[in-house]
């Protein structure tokens, strides 16, 4: 993984001073516990996230609580997601490149956990909505009182604006959401974020 944010690793001496310097200079930074043997970043323990946010008086903290093994959609294992208790907003995600693809292990990470959510042979907006709106899916581990707003990524793959709006609305209705965020990445950069209210 590569990114342009100043990075501090808990496993390295002086990490706390590094993140303070990043916040003073850029107003943001990236913190991880360290790296695993494959070089992948390892996340902070939830309690460490909360104490660091409190100590540094941060306005906002973004936490990647779960990974999907590069699949467009996923269901969390028993130990996932790792959401800090004080989280006020939870954003379950799905890639719109899943639409029309088979509901299988290539499209859905941990597809074997889908159980009753697995209806039909291909991924539809309704399948994504049910998955993101389920207590075994996108609503799993959400702290009491937290707002849940799903994010549909890769919207640049949906050619027509009207079709994108219809897809977002169908996801919202199937998942019981008031709003669905939509984003796309073009050339490796964040391009837009829209909110669809049903």
Q: Are residues 36 and 84 in the same domain?
A: no
Q: Please report the pLDDT score of residue 17 as a whole number.
A: 92
Q: Which of 11, 42, 62 is the last residue of a domain?
A: 62
* Position 175 confidence tier, pLDDT thresholds 50, 70, 90: very high
Structure tokens at 139: 């609503």
Q: Which residue's structure tokens are 């008086």?
A: 57
Q: Which of 19, 36, 62 is the last residue of a domain?
A: 62
pLDDT over threshold 80, residue 171? yes
pLDDT over threshold 50, residue 39? yes
Helical pair 125-133 and 161-175, crossing angle rounded to 10 deg: 40
Q: pLDDT tens digits, residue range 81-140?
A: 888 888 999 999 999 999 999 888 888 888 888 877 776 688 999 999 999 999 989 999
pLDDT over threshold 50, residue 2? no
Q: Are residues 46 and 77 in the same domain?
A: no
pLDDT over threshold 60, residue 185? yes
Q: Which domain holds residue 40?
A: 1-62
Torsion over CA: 93, 175, 97, 180 (sign):
negative
26 and 50 Cβ atoms separated by less than 8 Å: no
Q: Please report the pLDDT score of residue 191 as a whole number.
A: 57
* Position 1 confidence tier, pLDDT thresholds 50, 70, 90: very low
Q: Are residues 33 and 48 in the same domain?
A: yes
pLDDT over threshold 80, residue 54? yes
Q: How many domains does the chain have?
A: 2
Q: Are residues 91 and 145 in the same domain?
A: yes
């Amino acid at each position: 993984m590569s990114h342009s944010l100043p990075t501090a690793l808990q496993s390295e001496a002086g990490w706390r001073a590094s993140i303070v310097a990043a916040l003073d200079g850029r107003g943001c930074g990236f913190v991880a516990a360290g790296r695993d043997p494959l070089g992948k970043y390892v996340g902070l323990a939830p309690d460490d996230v909360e104490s660091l946010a409190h100590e540094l008086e941060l306005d906002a903290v973004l936490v990647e609580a779960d990974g999907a093994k590069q699949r467009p959609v996923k269901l969390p294992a028993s130990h996932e997601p790792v959401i800090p208790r004080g989280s006020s907003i939870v954003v379950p995600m799905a890639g719109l490149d899943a639409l029309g693809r088979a509901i299988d292990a290539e499209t859905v990470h941990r597809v074997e956990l889908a159980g009753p959510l697995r209806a039909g042979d291909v991924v539809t907006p309704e399948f994504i909505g049910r998955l993101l709106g389920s207590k075994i899916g996108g609503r799993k581990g959400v702290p009491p009182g937290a707002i849940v707003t799903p994010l549909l990524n890769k919207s640049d793959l949906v050619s027509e604006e009207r079709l994108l709006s219809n897809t977002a609305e169908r996801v919202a209705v199937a998942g019981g959401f008031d709003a669905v965020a939509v984003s796309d990445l073009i050339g490796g950069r964040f391009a837009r974020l829209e909110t669809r209210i049903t």
